[in-house]
Amino acid sequence: VLTVTEIYRAILGESLDAGRVCVIVRLTGCHRRCVYCDSAFAFQGGRRLSVDEACAAALADGSGTVLVTGGEPLLQREVVPLLARLVAAGRRVVLETSGTRGAAVALAEVPAGVRRVVDVKTPGSGLAADPADVIDWEGLQALGPGDELKFVCVDRADYVWARDLIREGRRLPAGPCRTFSPGHGLLPARELAAWLLADGLEARLQVQLHKLLWPDRERGT
């Protein structure tokens, strides 16, 4: 059984698949509390659905792309069969996760064919005095080409932290692309763009498309 906050059609706001029409499956619960979290409504509550029911609801939408997110979707073991069935049904499947310690499902257990997008927590997330203490570094090594490492930056200190982590190269897997995203309402995208250009970093800049399209909506984007 899965606990599900919502299943709805949307424009995928982030990742290499940004802009695609998709169906979002938002699982309930998160063991973290980032200061800028925009999905705190998914921390509690939700409907209990069997894997069959959740899968059927996602497939019934008809969208070719499915985003499985949360909360933290890897807190629920049954996300694994759900993901496997969505891939088997021919859907393009994207999974968003914090990649922090304490999940019930390791990144290595995510079925093949799922694009794993890991939000590598920066100091500005407020998760810990040093976010390196909560990141599952070992788990990240399961990521490869086709997966993504995302760094949400709320200020220059976050950017420098992420940049130096990438440059140093030892703790991050080599395959996934690196994406920088400004914290919405906290850092102008243009500033982040200027820093990336000045450093010539091998990374891509991303803005949250759904926040541009629907800046006033807190849910359903």
CB half-sphere exposure, 2, CA atoms < 13 A: 32
Residue 98 touching ligand SF4 (CB under 6 A): yes
Mapped onto helix, strand or coil, the DSSP state of residue 10 is strand
In the chain, the amino acid numbered 26 is: R
Choose, by CB under 6 A, the member of 26, 32, 116, 150 that binds ligand SF4. 32
CA distance 118 to 116: 6
The nearest distance, CB 167 to ligand SF4, in angstroms, is 25
Q: Which stretch binds ligand SF4 (CB under 6 A): 3-11, 26-34, 87-95, 110-118?
A: 26-34
Choose, by CB under 6 A, the member of 3, 15, 28, 39 that binds ligand SF4. 39
Measured from the CB atom, the residue of 72 and 148 that comes closer to ligand SF4 is 72
Closest CA to 115 of 54, 69, 76: 69
Choose, by CB under 6 A, the member of 9, 33, 156, 217 that binds ligand SF4. 33
Choose, by CB under 6 A, the member of 30, 67, 103, 187 that binds ligand SF4. 30
Closest CA to 93 of 81, 101, 75: 81
